[in-house]
Chains A and B, each alone.
Chain A
Amino acid sequence: MPSNETQKFDSLVLGGGIAGLAAALDLADAGYQVAVLERDATIGGQMIRLSKVFPTLDCASCITTPKMAAAAHHPNITLFTMCRLEGAQRVDGKLEARVTQLPRYVDPDKCIGCRQCEYECPVMVDDHEQGGFTARKAIYIPFSNAIPQLALIDREHCMMCGKCSSVCPTGAVDQLQQEQEFVIQAETMVLSTGFELMTDFPQRAYGAPGLGDNVISSLQMERLLAPHGPYMRVLRPGDGKEPESIAFVQCAGSRDLQLGKPYCSRVCCMYAIKQAMLLSGALPLADLTIYYMDIRAFGKNYEQFFQNAKAMGVEFVKAKPVIAGNNPDGSVVLRYEDQEGGTGAVSREHDLVVMSLAMLPAFSPEEIVPVSAADDGFVMVPQPKLAPTLTEAAGIFTCGVAAGPKDIVDSIAEAGAAALGAAKYMAAKRGGQAAA
């Protein structure tokens, strides 16, 4: 637990996803003291929850876990998980960040991550780390490679039966833990707060009321494809059927003025293609269809990846379908205008439908840090072409999806640029002070 005193660092990185960790590691390797502030119970961000990454189909966990471990063990990096940034402002040239440490109800100095408490706990809760397709317990460790590997209690669902306390070999359970406030002082800040998917499915555009049990989000499909997913294979969540026909609906929410999200989420085309390719391996007999507005394969080797998917038999249909209904057998009916075949309105049934939902900013900077949000809600970047990591405030940088949708490659490249910008800012300031 952090002390109540002000803790001093050179740089504060807000968000412990892949971009934040890359920026923190770059700064720490250059000799700067870095604090990484993460609101979740584990670092790793969205990337640690993915199955594989495009276009190389490398295991996401195999890339992210070493970065997480490197950050956790770096002598110049201090991780603060389950922390909420209340506000930050410059005081006498230094950024002062007011932080609330949320209680785990488990003593982090005593917990050894054995999970005996989790096995003993009688309360089951939707496991959002697994797309809500299975349960976790009211006391739990988020996932097997979470860092830190510490249990926490979901107070909302806990019934305080005391079973966790009775089996904990180190007496780590502490129901009396409270929120704790402290201050982090730093010269620079890097905003790497990432994204979340549109949670309210765009029902007006894609069907109402309710989309059915077999319409899922792209991040839920990532969990179905992950080796340690909820079913350890791809099954239809409505009834456990191994799907024979899977459809992807692209631009679900994004590029839609009516839904207030006119921007392209940039990665959906590629991850849908990736998921279709992985599915063709997992379910070789399944029909895979991607309904798209236009395919945006902009990065290195991305076009080849798209062509490979076509060669593997993934069907691409230029259309913007709506969900017309659900059949008694659980299949989902899509209805769309056949733009290329010219046959008018067409209905097709699929066992499972994946919505490539719009990416939304996970953090709104306004009234918390002295930086404003752009019209799309992401961090305002005044010079997006020349200096994409500079914000309006001197000494505050941004990287990754905090400033707008982008893929992992671009996020990591930006993280390096943000770290360099922060290092340059600190060097200039210190050089100026030495000269004075």
Chain B
Amino acid sequence: MMQPEERKAALKALKQSRAEANKANAAQAKQQKKKIGLIAGRLAQGPATPLEIAQDTGLSPKETLWYLAAMRKYGKVNEGAKSGDYFNYELNDTSAEAC
């Protein structure tokens, strides 16, 4: 059983040994947060289909749907009414960036 000080030192060493990977993952998370922000920003203007969101944000339709599904899973967006062959999505609340 490690003592708290030993544990702290071991964790620090682990972070150092994984510095490159952690940095790359952090950069990825930052990009993801930015894209979620774009989608949330578009939805703040009103419900939209994945195609409309993709068009307005510059993301691909596939990527937009991936984020919408994830945001829905974590409670940030809801499915709205159908519009033609597509469903609209709308913000569940104003804290979508926390997703």
Contact = CB atoms under 8 A, between A and B. Distances in A.
A410 interface: no
Contacts of A159: 22-23, 25-26, 29
Given A122-B33, A123-B29, A213-B62, A160 B22 contact: yes
B15 A160 contact: yes
A176 B32 contact: no
A241 interface: yes
A230 B72 CA distance: 9
B70 A124 contact: yes
B87 A237 contact: no
Interface string B52-64: 0010000001101
Interface residues of B, number: 37
Nearest to A351: B85
Interface in B60-96: 61-62, 64-70, 72-74, 79, 82, 85-87
Given A159-B29, A232-B79, A239 B69 contact: no
Contacts of A176: 2, 7, 10-11, 14
B69 A242 contact: no
A242 B85 contact: yes
Given A159-B29, A242-B85, A134 B50 contact: no
Interface string A32-47: 0000000000000000
Contacts of B11: 175-176
A344 interface: no
Which of A124, A157, A160 gathers the greatest number of chain B CB atoms within 10 Å? A124
Contacts, number: 89
Given A124-B32, A133-B66, A230-B69, A241 B86 contact: yes
A434 interface: no
A138 interface: yes
B66 A241 contact: no
A123 B22 CA distance: 11
Contact of A161 (B10, B26, B69, B85): B26
Contacts of B69: 130, 133-135, 230-231
Contacts of A130: 69
B15 A242 contact: no
Interface in A123-176: 123-124, 127, 130, 133-135, 138, 156-161, 175-176
A138 B51 contact: no
A127 B67 CA distance: 12
A238 B64 CA distance: 9
Given A133-B69, A158-B25, A240-B61, 14 more contacts: A123-B28, A134-B66, A135-B70, A138-B25, A156-B21, A159-B29, A160-B22, A176-B10, A232-B79, A239-B54, A239-B65, A240-B49, A240-B86, A330-B61
Report the 6 A-B pairs with minimum CB-CB distance, sorted nearest first.
A134-B69, A135-B70, A239-B61, A240-B50, A159-B25, A159-B26
Interface of B: 2, 7, 10-11, 14-15, 18, 21-23, 25-26, 28-29, 32-33, 49-51, 54, 61-62, 64-70, 72-74, 79, 82, 85-87
